[in-house]
Amino acid sequence: MASTYDLDKPSVSNVEENRTRLCEEFAAITGTDSAVAQCYLAENEWEMERALNSFFEADLEKVFEEDLIESEPGPNTKKQKVEERPPEECIDLTEDSSASAHKTSEEDESKLSLISWNVDGLDTDNLAERARGLCSFLVLYTPDVVFLQELIPPYVQYLKKRAVSYLIIEGGEDGYFTGMMLKKSRVKLIESEIVAYPTTQMMRNLLVAQVTFKDQKLCLMTSHLESCKGQAAERMKQLRVVMQRMREARDDVTVLFGGDTNLRDAEVVKVGLPPSVCDLWERLGKQEHCRYTWDTKANSNKSVPYVSRCRFDRVYLRPATKVGVPCIAPDHMALVGLEKLDCGRYTSDHWGIYCSFSLG
């Protein structure tokens, strides 16, 4: 007869199954393989959060160090030079340029513009050049609002030094997280908050900011929903949280959500969008050239043995409905980041989404 101890003890098969699942989740989050995942998880007693923190504690700042420092003679170390550089000497790589392709007319100045982009900060190859690539698109498009996913602390520090015309709001501190950038001259922050997803296994949450743009109240939201096909149930739970927040916002507030949703169309159908919420790509005519934001057929940053074309990155709008409040309506959408950088890679393994909105 089996002892009480034996009955309570997890079976070997259950332990193996659970650890295999943890390895798969770790590898999906970090972009590594099962061997690396197993090493970090085993060292951290198979606790996912501890293992991820251990992985991301590696000193990635050296990836950006060379770019952040202008070469100058002398025996001082690079780190010393960074500390000695006065903040005002930082070069703003996102400063408005007369060569900008957008906002050149009075009509354009009245429009709200947004970029949403998973910048793949977890991939440290050519990361400094790819971060400069992001800044070059900020110069070109001068977006009022930027939603970013898969940021890591060194990437944020780089943006703070090189995108000083933007206010940066972070959706976390450790590992990887989301962020927002608000054009200081046009968007004013009132308050921000981080909404937890209680059952996430991948450190995901919802970053929310209340702002004003030309005296209009906006609620901005970004998130990176649970990744991988097997996490559909959790991803749909997270989408429900997003939709509830959009639906319950005050009627004098326009709500904009953008991010890497990892959603499949069937999952959106199961959850259902509130009648007041629209998918921008669908609202603007389902243009084929804007369909796929994750496209391994066109984007070679990830070496995968298959072709995957998905509309993972999405933007949702819930206009204000109060009588007398001007309506914000989408009028343009395009994919950005389609050009290779000098290093031979793209700014990210995702294309970014650029969209603009008319007021009135």
Virtual torsion, Cα 127, 128, 129, 131, nearest 10 deg: 80
- Encoded tokens for 236: 């749909």
Catalytic hit among 33, 108, 123, 260: 260
Q: Taking Cα atoms as reference points, which of 191, 150, 147, 153 lies closest to residue 166? A: 147
Tokens of 108: 């354009």
Residue pair 252/219 in contact by the 8 Å Cβ criterion: no
Q: How deeply is 131 buried, as exposed, middle or buried, from its count of CB atoms within 10 A (0-12, 13-18, 19+)?
A: buried
Indicate the burial class of 229 (C-beta count within 10 angstroms; 0-12, 13-18, 19 or more): exposed
| Partner residues linked to 206 by β-bridges | 195, 223
Close Cβ partners of 32 (under 8 Å, ≥ 6 residues apart): 26, 55
DSSP 281: H
Cα 265 to Cα 196: distance, rounded to the nearest angstrom: 24
Q: Are 277 and 271 in contact (CB under 8 A)?
A: no
Integer Cα distance of 204 and 202 in angstroms: 6
Task: Please report where in the chains the tokens 């929310």 appear, as a residue.
Answer: 208
DSSP assignments along 46-99, one per residue: T-HHHHHHHHHTS-THHHHHHHHS----SS--HHHHHHHS-GGG---TT---TT
Alpha helices in 199-358 (DSSP H): 232-248, 265-271, 280-283
Q: Is 260 a catalytic residue?
A: yes
Active site residues: 260
